[in-house]
Each structure stands twice: as structure tokens, then as C-alpha cells.
């Protein structure tokens, strides 16, 4: 009789383990590693259930809300690598001025409040470029500063980058990678179940997000995202009191500073002529002469930073 009861005892123990798992899952839908490893003691059936729970957990992680704190931490990590690659320009007066203009613009954006506020930095590079990382970390190179000849044109560059922030364009790359990671977990675990094998621990589906952001900044946003950032930037300029047509004038000056084959905004953005054509109607007219007070503070703050 002892042997006859063994299958039933196994089934009861297995059912009890399943009930324990269902009741003991984490709030994010995942199961603890100790529980998953416990299931493996029940042979292929247990391994199959553990595999299913891993897929279930990966799906929940791929779909869970990405908080402002998560965004800040990923953006800060990406910003640290950008700084390491380019180096910061350490002129305090210049950085204070760029932050003054940038944060004023941010107040008139559709996302004036972010987890740790907006951060604007000048990169000590001749490359003609700018970056907007998650968490509202915005960078502009000295090479791009030289293209701006007025405060309105500087504001136009920063307003475009704020447009990327308020539309969370960099986060789109993260969300895409998380869904791809879920598909990868599904395929991996499916293969393990089919062969009855259990390999290495499945990687965290949230891993590699910083790399995803950096790859996006390096390779550029889509044409639609760039157009959205341009148009939103024009709106920010208008609401802040800057000349919207400065977006057109600074784009023309930026194009003149490009060097064939160089790594600059032309390698990650649509053709400048196309951008100008698409925003001319929204910006309206031609750029107005800079007001003397604005021009004076622009020149005083950025004279050294814009020097060749």
C-alpha cells in the first residue's frame, strides 16, 4: 500500500507547492528564486512550471509602469557615460547661463516638472551636437554653441531637446527593449521546456537599458520624433517669449558648420532642408533682430565657450 500511495503523495506535494507559489508571488508578478529552484525537484513537470513562472514574471516586468525614479537613474547613468566620452566644459558662468535659459524654457513645456529637475550641461567638444537623455539631462557641445549667435537661437536648440524630453522619446527605446527581452525569455524558456533542460538563470529584463538609451542617442530618433521635437520646440519658444523663427535661422547656421563624415547632428537627424521646410509654417516669418539686453548677456556668458 505504501508504494500505491506514493504517486498521490507526490501529486499532493506538487499541488501544495503550486498553491504556495501562487500565494507567494512578488507584487510585480515574479516568483522568488528559492521557490523556482524548489520546483525543479519535481522533475520535468516542476521545471516546466518554473519555466512558465519565469515567462510570467518577465511579461509583468516588461509591462510594468516605468517610474520617474527609474527614468532618472537610467538617464543619470547614460549622462555619466556621455560626460566620460566628451568631457564637460567647466566655465561656471557659461553653464549657469545655459541652465537659466534652459530651465526657463522648461517651465513653458508640457513637462515642467521632472523627478530631479532639468539639468543642462556644456560638453567640451567641437562636434556640432546636442543630446537629451531620460531624466531631463540635456547636453550641448561647444561646437553647437558656436552655431548660435543669439539667445533666441540658443533657446531654439534647447527647446528642441526639451521637446524630446516631454515626449519621452528616449523611453520608447527602453520600452521596446523590455518587450524584446520578454520575447527572448519566452523563446529561451520554451526551448528549455521542450528539451527538458535547465540552463543558466534568465537575465533581468530590465538590464541593458542604459545601453539602449546611448544607442538611441548615437543612432538618432526617428524622422517622426525629430519632427515632433522641432514643432514642440517652436511652441515652447513662442510661449516663453522667444522668437520661434530662431529655430529656422539656427538650423541654417548649424548646417554650414557641418564637416563631411563627422559625427554630428547630421548623422542622427533628418536633412536640415527638410526640417526647415516642415517648421517654417509653424515658426512664421523670419528671425527678428536680437534685443540688446539679451544679446549683451549672451555675449558676456558665452564669449569664451564659443571661442574657437
Better pLDDT: 208 or 232: 232
Q: Write the pLDDT tens digit of every residue in 77-91.
A: 899 999 999 999 999
pLDDT exceeds 60 at position 188: no
pTM score, whole prediction: 0.71
**Residue 191 confidence (pLDDT):** 43
pLDDT exceeds 50 at position 42: yes
Average pLDDT of span 211-238: 87
Q: Report DSSP letters for the chain, one per residue.
A: -HHHHHHHHHHHHHHHHHHHHHHH--TTS---HHHHHHHGGGHHHHHHHHHHHHHHHHHHHHHS---HHHHHHHHHHHHHHHHHHH-B---HHHHHHHHHHHHHHHHTSS----TT--EEEEE---S--EEEETTTEEEEEHHHHTT--SHHHHHHHHHHHHHHHHTTHHHHHHHHHHHHHHHHHHHHHHHHHHHT---SPPPPTTTTHHHHHHHHHHH---HHHHHHHHHHHHHHHHHHTS-TTHHHHHHHHHHHT--TT--SGGGTS--HHHHHHHHHHHH-S-PPPPPHHHHHHHHHHHHHHH--
Average pLDDT of span 101-121: 97
**Residue 217 confidence (pLDDT):** 81
pLDDT exceeds 70 at position 36: no
Average pLDDT of span 106-114: 96
Least confident interval from 28-32, 101-105, 206-210: 28-32
Average pLDDT of span 230-249: 95
**Residue 31 confidence (pLDDT):** 55
Q: Write the pLDDT tens digit of every residue in 1-12.
A: 444 445 544 444
Least confident interval from 125-139, 198-212, 256-270: 198-212
Amino acid at each position: 500500500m505504501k508504494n500505491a500511495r506514493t504517486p498521490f503523495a507526490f501529486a499532493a506535494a506538487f499541488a501544495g507547492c503550486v498553491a504556495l507559489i501562487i500565494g507567494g508571488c512578488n507584487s510585480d508578478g515574479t516568483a522568488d528564486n528559492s521557490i523556482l529552484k524548489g520546483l525543479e525537484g519535481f522533475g520535468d513537470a516542476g521545471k516546466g512550471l518554473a519555466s512558465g513562472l519565469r515567462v510570467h514574471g518577465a511579461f509583468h516586468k516588461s509591462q510594468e509602469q516605468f517610474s520617474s525614479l527609474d527614468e532618472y537613474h537610467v538617464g543619470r547613468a547614460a549622462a555619466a557615460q556621455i560626460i566620460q566620452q566628451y568631457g564637460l566644459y567647466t566655465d561656471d558662468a557659461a553653464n549657469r547661463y545655459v541652465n537659466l535659459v534652459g530651465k526657463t524654457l522648461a517651465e513653458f513645456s508640457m513637462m515642467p516638472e521632472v523627478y530631479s529637475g532639468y539639468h543642462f550641461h556644456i560638453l567640451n567638444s567641437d562636434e556640432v551636437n546636442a543630446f537629451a537623455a531620460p531624466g531631463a539631462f540635456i547636453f550641448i557641445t561647444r561646437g553647437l554653441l558656436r552655431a548660435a549667435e543669439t539667445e533666441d537661437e540658443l533657446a531654439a536648440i534647447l527647446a528642441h531637446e526639451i521637446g524630446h524630453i516631454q515626449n519621452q522619446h528616449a523611453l520608447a527605446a527602453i520600452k521596446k527593449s523590455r518587450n524584446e527581452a520578454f520575447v527572448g525569455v519566452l523563446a529561451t524558456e520554451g526551448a528549455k521546456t521542450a528539451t527538458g533542460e535547465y540552463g543558466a538563470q534568465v537575465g533581468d529584463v530590465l538590464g541593458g537599458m542604459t545601453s539602449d538609451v546611448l544607442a538611441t542617442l548615437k543612432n538618432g530618433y526617428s524622422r517622426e520624433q525629430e519632427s515632433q521635437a522641432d514643432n514642440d520646440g517652436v511652441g515652447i519658444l513662442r510661449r516663453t517669449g522667444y522668437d520661434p523663427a530662431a529655430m529656422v535661422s539656427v538650423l541654417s547656421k548649424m548646417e554650414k558648420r557641418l564637416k563631411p563624415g563627422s559625427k554630428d547632428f547630421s548623422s542622427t537627424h533628418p536633412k536640415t532642408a527638410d526640417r526647415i521646410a516642415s517648421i517654417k509654417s509653424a515658426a512664421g516669418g523670419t528671425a527678428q533682430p536680437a534685443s540688446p539686453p539679451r544679446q549683451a548677456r549672451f555675449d558676456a556668458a558665452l564669449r569664451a565657450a564659443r571661442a574657437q
